[in-house]
Structures are given as structure tokens and as C-alpha cells.
Amino acid sequence: MLPVDPAKKIAFNRHISDGDLVIVYERHDIMKAVKVCENSALQNRFGVFKHSDWIGKPFGSKVFSNKGGFVYLLAPTPELWTLVLSHRTQILYIADISFVVMYLELVPGCLVLESGTGSGSLTTSLARAIAPTGHVYTFDFHEQRAASAREDFEKTGLNSLVTVGVRDIQGEGFPDDFSGRADSVFLDLPQPWLAIPSAGKMLKQDGILCSFSPCIEQVQRCCDTLRTSFTDIRTFEVLLRTYEVREVKIDGWQTDDSGSLGSLPCKRRQLSSEEGGNGRDIPSSSTVMARPSPETRGHTGYLTFARLRSLS
């Protein structure tokens, strides 16, 4: 993802080379990561796609199979990587990740401490936020998970921005070398309150901690511990609502290929003439339907943020 020159990849202005990782996009819910290898081919329901046809094309290109089917080749951004990575653990998704990156006030050059690494979903976005001069030190006590995460960061080109350590952060805390050097600390641990005293020691004055927990009882214990040395303690639950918006026939809500909308709440309106809805392009029995997507993710967890209290 960030091979030789991280800034270049982030700017999405590269062409595909042999050895690159690309996201092969069929639909928003059918994507996979593929390493480009000149002599290989990808086979799917649309036919056979020769990798050699991909080399030299810009990311975002539409490429065709031997049968005329097509896919798009997208750059492996952290957003897409989160959707295709192999799940070795529960992971953070885009709604929580974007909130974390914003509230941790991450900018290029920041030093971030994280535990646990898990599948590296969050780490990937942390790394992009602090690139090209910052660093993420992420710790997991599970050796195999740490090793797999390292392999993934190598694959995605993030290895110069991320160091994965094996350590029991709840038991031992973060390594003392980081004392007073971290701009932010992120915890996704079962008992985060055990790691909070160490996190406080690691943070620079005014540094920010975030802890992700799925259960409110964990949040409560975490907040109790935070009160001793942190201020501005705030807990959020990020709920994302995505919409399906499409043209449908209005009689009886018998809609499109997917069948009936039943009694789901829908917002609908006729298209105005400016939008081409004056009977010229759109049949008069059509309307625009918008409804919350049934795929929308519900509760993932609570995000608790706190700022290290100044000693003076």
C-alpha cells in the first residue's frame, strides 16, 4: 500500500506494477485483494483475467476478461483493506476508525501506541494518518496474530510505518522506552483499565487516549480508572446509517428485481422536471425510493476518549 514513497501511494497517482497489491472490485460487497504477478491470471465468474494486461494501467482501471466480463482494479487504501483483510479477530470498521483518527488528532509525524493489534484493521488507518514521518507501535500478546499482522503490513507496504511487538500490555504495560513520547494511545483490550496507568505514563502532556469496548460495563470501569489522571473523558457510540436510493415502480411497492419493500419506512417523491422526471425519461409510474440499507451495521462498541491531565 505504501511501497517506496508513501506520499505517492496516498495520492493514488500510481500505475499498477508487477508485485503490487490491487483490490479487484466486482461490487461494493464483492472485492478481493490480489498480488499482481506477470505470469498469473485471476479466474472468476466473468472469465479469466491475465495479470499481464493490468500492468502499466492506472489504479481505478476497468479491465476485461477473455469472455468480455470486467472488474475494476482499485488501489489498496486502508478503507478498502479493512473490507478485504482476513479476519483473525473482531475488527474495527470504517465508521469507528474515521472517528478514532479524527478524535485522536492524528497528523503526519505523530507517534501512536496501540494494543491489541488484532487483524490490523485500525492500524492500517493509523499508519496512513501519521505517514510519512510518524510511527505506530502496535502490541499483541498473541504471537501468531502479531506475525500475521507483520506479514500484512509488509504486503500493504506499511512496514516502514508500523512496528509490531509481542507483549502482554494488560500485564506489563507499554515498554518504558516510550515514556512521555506518545501523542496518542489506542486500546482494544478486554480489560483496558489494567493498561490505563501505563498509557498515562507513555503519553506526552495533552496526549489523548482512546479505548474501544463492546460492553458498557467495560466502559464504566475504564472511566473510573481514567478519572485519576485524565480529563475531558467522553464516550461515543458511532452508528452509521447507509441508504439504498433507486428508481422504483410505485404500484403496491412491488419494486425491482429484489421483490417487495413490504412495510419498511420509505421516503419517496416524484422526480421534478429538472431531474428528467416529467415523463420524458422516467415512466410516470416511477418514483425515487430511499430506505435504510438492511446491511447497515448496528452496535460495534463504545469509544471512550480522554486527555492526559496536565501536572501543573
Q: Using CA atoms, how far apart are residues 59 and 66, in angstroms rounded to an integer?
A: 20
Q: Which of 6, 76, 78, 118 binds ligand SAM (CB under 6 A)?
A: 118
Q: Who contacts 259 (Cβ-Cβ below 8 Å, separation ≥6)?
A: none
**Single-letter amino acid code for the residue at 69:** G
Q: Does 20 bind ligand SAM (CB under 6 A)?
A: no
The residue among 26 and 79 lying less far from ligand SAM, judged by its C-beta, is 79
Q: Which of 170, 198, 213, 300 binds ligand SAM (CB under 6 A)?
A: 170
Residue 246 zone, left/alpha/beta (φ > 0; ψ -120 to 50; rest): beta
Residues that contact ligand SAM, how many (by CB under 6 A): 23
Q: Which of 120, 157, 173, 277 binds ligand SAM (CB under 6 A)?
A: 120
Q: Who contacts 141 (Cβ-Cβ below 8 Å, separation ≥6)?
A: 116, 166, 167, 168, 169
Contacting range for ligand SAM; rule: CB under 6 A; set: 41-49, 60-68, 72-80, 88-96: 88-96
Q: Which of 104, 131, 169, 203 binds ligand SAM (CB under 6 A)?
A: 169
Q: Which of 53, 168, 244, 247 binds ligand SAM (CB under 6 A)?
A: 168
CB 287 within 8 A of CB 220: no
What is the closest distance, in whole angstroms, from the C-beta atom of residue 225 to ligand SAM in the complex?
15
The residue among 65 and 123 lying less far from ligand SAM, judged by its C-beta, is 123
What is the closest distance, in whole angstroms, from the C-beta atom of residue 257 to ligand SAM in the complex?
35
Q: Using CA atoms, how far apart are residues 290 and 176, in angstroms rounded to an integer?
A: 53
Cis check: omega of the bond before 116, within 30 degrees of 0: yes
Q: Using CA atoms, how far apart are residues 96 and 157, in angstroms rounded to an integer?
A: 23
In whole angstroms, how far apart are CA 175 and each of 13, 48, 126, 132, 167? 38, 50, 20, 23, 9
Q: Does 80 bind ligand SAM (CB under 6 A)?
A: no
**Single-letter amino acid code for the residue at 299:** H
Each residue 179-198 as x (binds ligand SAM by CB under 6 A) or -, in order, gives ---------xxx--------
Q: Using CA atoms, how far apart are residues 277 and 267, in angstroms rounded to an integer?
A: 17
What is the closest distance, in whole angstroms, from the C-beta atom of residue 41 to ligand SAM in the complex?
31
Q: Could you say which residues in the range 259-298 bind ligand SAM, by CB under 6 A?
A: none
Q: Does 119 bind ligand SAM (CB under 6 A)?
A: yes
CB 55 within 8 A of CB 36: yes
Q: Which of 76, 116, 207, 301 binds ligand SAM (CB under 6 A)?
A: 116
- Grouping H, G, I as helix, E, B as strand and the rest as coil, residue 1 is coil
Q: Does 122 bind ligand SAM (CB under 6 A)?
A: yes
What is the closest distance, in whole angstroms, from the C-beta atom of residue 33 to ligand SAM in the complex?
15
Q: Does 145 bind ligand SAM (CB under 6 A)?
A: yes
Contacting positions for ligand SAM (CB under 6 A): 89-92, 115-116, 118-122, 139-142, 145, 168-171, 188-190
